[in-house]
Amino acid sequence: MLLLSVETTCDETAVAITRNGRQVLTDQIFSQADLHAVYGGVVPEIASRSHVEVITQLADRAVKEAGIKKTDLEGVAVSYAPGLIGALLVGVNFAKSVAFALDVPLIPVHHIRGHIAANYIAYPELEPPFLCLAISGGNTMLMDVRDYTDMSVIGSTRDDAAGECFDKTARVLGLGYPGGKPIDELSQTGDDKKYDLPRAHIEGHPYDMSFSGLKTAVINIIHNAEQKGQEIDKPSLAASFSAAVSDILVPRTIAAALELGYKKLAVAGGVAANSRIRRDFTEVAGKEGLELYIPPMRLCGDNAAMIGCQGYYEYLAGNTAGPELNAYATLEI
Ligand code: KG4
């Protein structure tokens, strides 16, 4: 089944063409990061307008690069939640128009289900059930993935998402937006034990997480140093921070996999690109005899190939929509 897929949840406009879920014919991504960098974060109005400006050309380019005709397409999959509502509406309305014009099914895809599906593209042999930690800019959740379209959240953040915490910490360190990658790069030469940072636990909820205390601790260290006129060792603060985030994520995920009896463990989302988190997962999963799946960097961030992949499984499960499809800023997975 040949699908056109569309992703506009935040600041990437993406269009892909996939065959039978896992084969990616083309994966076009236009990042708006430069447009937002000057503001230190995503400006929703600018994001929506930029999606409108580029989405048609991106889809035309995708069709050309895939070497197909528009009429070969057999369905249109689209991220319809969660995300910035104005941004989502651009993608949803574009997908509706294409599906209507070609008279093919319209397939709504939950963005986080898409992130999980990035692993199916990277690992053709991977099939559910497995446990998945989804860590992105807006979401941090531990998922019990029983089947392609049957999954539930067993733990999640009580406050900031892991990516949000990276971005806010990067801002106070003067590293710009988005901040995950620069923190990762800076941390490479730092001492991860130099700064003592908190790792929160939530009493009675072993799989839930919290990042706001960690973020505040970093801000306090920086403000205290500024007031006393002391220098901050930025690489070491970045390394200590990355170690703390990893310590919040990795042991919980491993414990959940072992307690629920899973042999397969997947990680997904933009923060899965982090080198410290990848290294810690690889080490601990190896020790515990768990099979670990982490997508390559390009498939960690927002892209439309993952939406096409999950869209195929949603279609097989009968999950299609009519022209009344709406977009949702928040939605249960
Ligand atoms: O999945 P994603 O592209 O977008 C959402 O669906 O939210 O994730 C974006 C997040 C941003 O917060 C970004 O700073 C973070 O992923 N990120 C990283 C790294 N690369 C991107 N965080 C930590 N280390 C990285 N190397």
Residue 152 C-alpha from the chain's centroid: 17
User: What is the b/e burial string over 117-148, where b = at least 16 CB atoms within 10 angstroms of the residue's CB?
Assistant: bbbbbbbeebebebbbbbbbbbbbbbbbbeeb
Ligand 1 pocket, 235 CB below 6 A?
A: no
Ligand 1 pocket, 295 CB below 6 A?
A: no
104 Cα–ligand 1 center, Å: 33
Ligand 1 pocket, 192 CB below 6 A?
A: no
69 Cα–ligand 1 center, Å: 34
- Residue range 264-322, pLDDT digits in tens: 999 999 999 999 999 999 999 999 999 999 999 999 999 999 999 999 999 999 999 99
Ligand 1 pocket, 272 CB below 6 A?
A: no
- Taking the C-alpha atoms of residue 245 and residue 12, their distance in angstroms, rounded to an integer, is 25
Give burial (CB, 10 Å; 0-12/13-18/19+) of 220.
exposed
* CA angle in degrees (0–180, nearest 5) for 3-312-77: 50
Q: What phi, psi does 177 have (nearest 5°)?
A: -125, 145
DSSP codes, 226-292: HHHTPPP-HHHHHHHHHHHHHHHHHHHHHHHHHHHT-SEEEEESGGGG-HHHHHHHHHHHHHHT-EE
- Residue range 85-129, pLDDT digits in tens: 999 999 999 999 999 999 999 999 999 999 999 999 999 999 999
CA-nearest residue for atom 8, ligand 1, is 270
Ligand 1 pocket, 7 CB below 6 A?
A: no
100 Cα–ligand 1 center, Å: 34
Percent of the chain with pLDDT over 90: 97
User: Which pLDDT value is given to residue 176?
Assistant: 87
Ligand 1 pocket, 276 CB below 6 A?
A: no
326 Cα–ligand 1 center, Å: 26
CA-nearest residue for atom 14, ligand 1, is 180
Closest by alpha carbon to 104, among 236, 192, 3?
Answer: 3
Judging by DSSP bridges, how do beta strands 264-268 and 150-156 pair with one another? unpaired
Distances 245 to 156, 193, 200 between C-alpha atoms, Å: 14, 13, 10
Ligand 1 test: best mutation among 8, 139, 172, 181, most atoms within 8 Å of CB? 181
- Taking the C-alpha atoms of residue 29 and residue 27, their distance in angstroms, rounded to an integer, is 7
Distances 137 to 41, 119, 273, 326, 333 between C-alpha atoms, Å: 11, 18, 12, 22, 16
Closest by alpha carbon to 139, among 154, 114, 160, 155?
Answer: 160
CA-nearest residue for atom 18, ligand 1, is 180
- Residue range 26-81, pLDDT digits in tens: 999 999 999 998 888 899 999 999 999 999 999 999 999 999 999 999 999 999 99
138 Cα–ligand 1 center, Å: 9
Name 78's bridge partners: 6, 108
Ligand 1 pocket, 166 CB below 6 A?
A: yes
User: Which pLDDT value is given to residue 149?
Assistant: 98
- Residue range 160-202, pLDDT digits in tens: 999 999 999 999 999 988 899 999 999 999 999 999 999 999 9
Closest by alpha carbon to 82, among 185, 16, 161, 197?
Answer: 161
User: Which pLDDT value is given to residue 41?
Assistant: 87
User: Which pLDDT value is given to residue 40?
Assistant: 84
280 Cα–ligand 1 center, Å: 17
CA-nearest residue for atom 13, ligand 1, is 180
- Residue appearing with tokens 């997975």: 333
User: Which pLDDT value is given to residue 308?
Assistant: 98
Ligand 1 pocket, 167 CB below 6 A?
A: yes
Ligand 1 pocket, 21 CB below 6 A?
A: no
301 Cα–ligand 1 center, Å: 6
Structural domains of the chain in order of their starting residue, each with its CATH number? 2-115+301-316 (3.30.420.40), 128-299 (3.30.420.40)
User: Which pLDDT value is given to residue 177?
Assistant: 85
Ligand 1 pocket, 163 CB below 6 A?
A: yes
